[in-house]
Amino acid sequence: MTQTSDNVTWLTQEAYDQLKAELEHLSGPARTEIAKKIEAAREEGDLRENGGYHAAKEEQGKQELRVRQLQQLLETAKVGESPADDGVVEPGMVVTVAFDGDEDDSLTFLLASREYASSDIETYSPQSPLGTGVNGKKVGMDAEYELPNGKMASVRIMEAKPYKN
pLDDT tens-digit series, residues 55-73:
999 999 999 999 998 998 8
The answer to which of 7-11, 106-110, 118-122, 158-162 has the lowest mean pLDDT is 7-11
For residue 36, what are the domain limits?
A: 2-80
Report the pLDDT value the prediction gives residue 130, as an integer from 0 to 100.
93
Report the pLDDT value the prediction gives residue 117, as an integer from 0 to 100.
58
CA-based nearest residue to 107, from 165, 162, 161, 159: 159
User: What is the domain-level CATH number for residue 10?
Assistant: 1.10.287.180
Number of domains the chain is built from: 2
Q: Is residue 85 a part of any domain in this protein?
A: no
* Domain co-membership, 74 together with 134: no
Confidence of residue 119 (pLDDT cuts 50, 70, 90): low
**10: exposed, middle or buried (Cβ count in 10 Å: 0-12, 13-18, 19+):** buried
| pLDDT, tens digit, 9 for 90 and up, residues 12-65 | 777 788 889 999 999 999 999 999 999 988 888 777 788 888 899 999 999 999
Mean pLDDT score, 92-100: 89
Q: Return the number of other C-beta atoms located less than 10 Å from residue 75's C-beta.
A: 9
Q: Is residue 88 a part of any domain in this protein?
A: no
Q: Is residue 69 a part of any domain in this protein?
A: yes
SS (H, E, C) the chain: CEEEECCEEEEEHHHHHHHHHHHHHHHCHHHHHHHHHHHHHHCCCCHHHCHHHHHHHHHHHHHHHHHHHHHHHHHCEEEECCCCCCCECCCCEEEEEEECCEEEEEEEEEECCHHHCCCCCCEECCCCHHHHHHCCCECCCEEEEECCCCCEEEEEEEEEEECCC
